[in-house]
Structure 1
Amino acid sequence: MAKFTVNPTRFDPYRNFKFRVKWGANGYVAGVSKVTALKRTTEVVEHREGGDPSSSHKSPGRTKYEPITMERGVTHDPEFEAWANKVWNFANAQAAAEQREKEVSLRDFRRNLTIDLFNEAGQKAVSYKVYRAWVSEFTAQADLDANANAVLIQSIKIEHEGWERDLSVTEPSEPQFDGAGA
């Protein structure tokens, strides 16, 4: 088990706006602006002893991991759509019957993800690994509105089989200015 070293001078929690997402060998994914929470829930199994009718005991049951949704602005980068197409590809599904085995890419539709969080100085502070992820929902673009002044967003909903904190990422020593100039 990794031992945490604590920075005794840091009292502020990390902010939620400095992060990057990496999947596979492709490196960081461009333009991800939102990632929903990493959440797991363990079911409660209640049981009683035969001779004790007035109270019950609780034990942990099955653990489920909530899907993760990622959003980014629409660009020419096809990464979200290309990954979503690994699960189901419209063009291949419409092909002749002899081509239908290519509707789904069973060999590489799953990916491991890394979500890196950075401190205010841009140093990696916390990292999470998400295992055996795949796209269950793809939104190519959000609603269009001629009266709005907003970035056009696309999103993917990612199912996965669990996540854990990467304990090899240690707390960075924060930079300090000497005050000798700006």
Structure 2
Amino acid sequence: MRNIIWWVLASTLIFPNIALADPISLKGLDWTMDYPDMINHLNSDGYQCIGETNILFKKGTPEGDRIIAYLCNKGSAQVRLSATEIRFNCSAFDMCAHPADDVAQRLVNTGKVDELTPSMNQDEVMSIIDPTNSVSTQWCGVGNDGDGVCVSENPRDGNLRYVTLKKGSIGKSLSFD
């Protein structure tokens, strides 16, 4: 019993961010996990993950084709893991035909986040291609530990497009210092 208590106290001091974290979790993924853990979890769920490189903008950097994100696919379901976001497309939740505001409310109702606030979002690339479909609504909120979640609508029909977990300041106390 003493060993268990000692281990809990020591791990809290050594790994305070993880020990005290209360992350938002979707599909078993959250920001206390590292890339290998996330990829292993997605692979065990049937996803196939590949590393993405930024070949288009690479300027002969010494590190070569550095992986900047991972793209994981299972049929039409897609999860993209980057340094600051875990983005799920609507197929990952089988909710492409659901209104995005309904999906946002379901996240609140299930306790994933206390509140999601709507805001207008403009896709700069889309505004050049098709200005009529460049503005959409996004519902975002911050979790108890500084991470966030956003629900993005498809501007064409108002249905769910993406759900994104944002790393935010997870594990760090909020401060203006």
| Structure with larger Rg | 1
Of structures 1 and 2, the one scoring higher in RCO (CA 8 A, sep 6+) is 1
Higher helix share: 2
TM-score range, shorter chain: under 0.3
TM-score (norm 2): 0.24
